[in-house]
Every structure is written in C-alpha cells, then in structure tokens.
Amino acid sequence: LLFYLGFFGGADAKALICLSFAMPAYPSISIAQFNSMLPIFPLAVLVNAVFAASMLTLAITCHNIIEYLHVRGEMFRGFEHEPFWKKMLVFITGIRINPKKLKDSHYIPLEYAVKGKSGEVTRYLRVSPQIEEEYPEYIEVFNGYMWATPGLPFLIFMTVGFVIALLLGDFVDWMLILLFPQPR
C-alpha cells in the first residue's frame, strides 16, 4: 500500500515484505530492553527507519546553519522572488553543491533554470524533486553552486532501522518509556 501511494520505492516495499515473511515477530536473539507495544517486528523496523531518515534532515540543517554563518545572506542569492517557506524547506532538505558534482553523484537537483524571451535566465527552487531529473540546462547560471538533496535509498535507513529494532526494539516505545516512566 505504501508503495502504491508513492511513499517509497519498489525495492523498499519488497524488502519490507520479505522481512515480514522472514521475521513477523521479534526474534528471540533480540537484546531489546523494552517490550514493544507493537509485536510486529517489520513495523518497528519501518518506524525506526523513518526516524533514522529524519536524522538526515537534522544533519543537513546543522550543515546549512554552519554554512550560513560563513556566507551570511549569500545562500539564497538569485532566489529573492521565491517565497520564504520554499527557501526554508530547501534549507532543511538540501545542500549547496558544485553543479559538476551532480553528474557523477547521488544528488537530486532542488532547483532549475528557465530562459526568458529576452534571454535572461531565472533560477527557481523545487520542493518536490524528480529522481529522474536530468543534468540541468543553463548550468553556467548556477555560479559555482546549486541546491541539491542527497538521493539516498530508503533501504539504507531500513537497514539502520533493522539494527535499532534488534538492539532497542521500537524506537517510539523506547522514547515513550524514557519520557513517561511507569510508577512502580
């Protein structure tokens, strides 16, 4: 269902289905310290994977804050016409890279350029990047940098979620138990 709704790709869905068949419940070798409210192991893996993926957003935001302190107001030069919310969304999901890195790496462009009738090129931010995006046109207008997001497969985060589920159990339950301990 999550695959058909477009939340993640086919390989991710197949990996979760295979995990559901192979380990429908927590394995006996799990050293999780807390009992999960959800006894379905693959669901704990999925929840943990989502939290692991959100940590990437936190890391990107920290990176951009540090870069902002170095370049001050230069991060969004050329995007004065873009709304503030779009800039903030790009700020927490993307980093500025050299456009030449785009061809040989796993980055997905978060901006594109459009050539006007009089020949001027305007850059626009994109908040819903396309994985199949080709090398951007008018590469010369990107002035040494462009906004892009790391195109990491969700399967990496599912692997991290699997390890966390084996060691700690369901991360949400673990956090709830730590935040709201039960009286004895």
Alpha-carbon distance of 60 to 57, in angstroms, equals: 5
Mean pLDDT of 93-108: 83
**DSSP per-residue codes, 146-183:** EEEEE---HHHHHHHHHHHHHHTS-HHHHHHHHHSPPP
Per-residue pLDDT at 55 = 92
Pairing of strands 121-125, 146-150: unpaired
Whether the Cβ atoms of residue 92 and residue 57 lie closer than 8 Å to each other:
yes
Query: Is 31 inside a domain boundary?
Result: no
- Has residue 145 got a pLDDT over 70? yes
Query: Is 181 inside a domain boundary?
Result: no
Strand order in the sheet with 107-109: 95-97, 146-150, 107-109
- 116 or 133: which carries more pLDDT confidence? 116
Beta bridge partners of 112: 124
Query: Is 57 inside a domain boundary?
Result: yes
pLDDT band at 128 (very low <50, low <70, confident <90, very high): confident
Residue type, 23: M
pLDDT band at 173 (very low <50, low <70, confident <90, very high): confident
Query: Is 184 inside a domain boundary?
Result: no
Query: Is 29 inside a domain boundary?
Result: no
pLDDT band at 138 (very low <50, low <70, confident <90, very high): low
- Has residue 143 got a pLDDT over 70? no
- Has residue 18 got a pLDDT over 70? yes
Mean pLDDT of 107-136: 75
pLDDT in tens, 41-80: 888 888 899 999 999 999 999 999 999 998 877 888 888 8
What is the pTM assigned to this prediction?
Answer: 0.74
Domain count for the chain: 1
Q: Residue 64: enclosing H or E segment and its boundaries? A: helix 41-71
Query: Is 48 inside a domain boundary?
Result: yes
Grouping H, G, I as helix, E, B as strand and the rest as coil, residue 83 is coil
Alpha-carbon distance of 165 to 151, in angstroms, equals: 24
Query: Is 71 inside a domain boundary?
Result: yes
Per-residue pLDDT at 79 = 86
Per-residue pLDDT at 175 = 80
CA 104 to chain centre: 20
- Has residue 119 got a pLDDT over 80? no
Query: Is 4 inside a domain boundary?
Result: no
- Has residue 107 got a pLDDT over 60? yes
Give 50: exposed, middle or buried? Use CB within 10 Å, 0-12, 13-18, 19+: middle
Q: Tell me the backbone φ, ψ of residue 80, rounded to 5 degrees.
A: -60, -25
Q: Residue 115: enclosing H or E segment and its boundaries? A: strand 111-115
Alpha-carbon distance of 82 to 99, in angstroms, equals: 20
Q: Which domain, by its residues, includes 122?
A: 10-19+42-166
> Which token pair is 45?
């893996």
- Has residue 131 got a pLDDT over 60? no
- Has residue 33 got a pLDDT over 60? no
